Amino acid sequence: MATVREVQQRLISLGYDVGPSGADGIPGRSTTKAVTHFQEDKKLSILYPGTIGPKTLVALGLNDNKPMVPPWVTEARRFLGLHEVKNAKALDKALRLDASEIAWCGAFVGVVIATALPKEPMPANPLGSRNWLKFGKPLNDPQIGAIAVFWRGSKDGWQGHVGIVVGHDKTHLHILGGNQSDSVSVARIAKTRLLGYRWAVTYQDAPYVALPMTTISASVTTNEA
């Protein structure tokens, strides 16, 4: 499975500028620009230039017949472990808000999506977790990188939670998200709380193959307030 770092390394070897940090594994604007230039030079027909899909991977010589980890997942993992109190300065700077004063799961998803997919339309008021039900396009089943929206408190209420799918088991989704135990973490959230999956429209389509179930040692979260 190709990684952002491998794509960056290949682009650098071909003479493309991915930014001053080089192959840092971060799917930022400089990397997107370099990918776009490569696609133009290779005359690749890409619906959303700058995104990395099968055509681009083949042209880069990185195709291993496995999907690439979505760049927003890679970006989100950079923040793993950051706590809204212990790491307030770094977290608040990234989110551009005071994480100790507001439910920030929606802000976290918005930041990593905006960084990885600069042209992706954001839902109105991304701080509202349930507003992410209007993000991108619907997805029927879990896939790595899917945006998962959950109800919290009451299914018919207004409270909720949003995060990124990184796996699942029979009863729970494995969610990489913010405001989970007041930090960025991977937690297990019951599938019975799911309101819907969404997928970015400026990225390649989600895989059609079912996501295999996995087992992880992560806490179950029931209230992400």
Q: What is the pLDDT of residues 46-64, one digit of tens each?
A: 888 998 888 898 899 887 6
Closest C-alpha among 62, 64, 63, 58 to residue 46: 58
Evaluate whether 115 touches 75 at the Cβ level (below 8 Å): yes
Decide: residue 184, CB within 10 A, 0-12 exposed, 13-18 middle, 19+ buried.
buried
| Rg of the Cα atoms in the chain | 17
Evaluate whether 7 touches 60 at the Cβ level (below 8 Å): yes
pLDDT digits (tens, 9 = 90+) for 190-201: 999 999 999 999
Element (H, E) at 189: strand 183-190
Question: Which is more confident, 66 or 149?
Answer: 149
pLDDT value, residue 65: 64
Q: Please tell me the distance from the alpha carbon of residue 75 to that of residue 139, in angstroms, as a whole number.
A: 21
Decide: residue 187, CB within 10 A, 0-12 exposed, 13-18 middle, 19+ buried.
buried
Kindly report the average pLDDT of the chain as a whole number.
90
- Domains by residue range for the chain, with CATH: 4-60 (no CATH), 72-199 (3.90.1720)
| Amino acid residing at 224 | E
Q: Please tell me the distance from the alpha carbon of residue 141 to that of residue 167, in angstroms, as a whole number.
A: 11
Q: Is the dihedral of CA 119, 152, 171, 174 positive or negative?
A: positive
Decide: residue 9, CB within 10 A, 0-12 exposed, 13-18 middle, 19+ buried.
middle
DSSP 3-state of 31: helix
Share of the chain above pLDDT 90, in %: 60
- Main-chain dihedrals φ then ψ at residue 161, nearest 5 degrees: -155, 150
What's the mean pLDDT in 113-123? 92
pLDDT value, residue 225: 67
Alpha carbons within 13 angstroms on the beta-carbon side of residue 1 total 7
Q: Parallel, antiparallel, or unpaired for β 160-168 and 172-180?
A: antiparallel
Position 99 pLDDT exceeds 70: no
pTM for this one?
Answer: 0.77
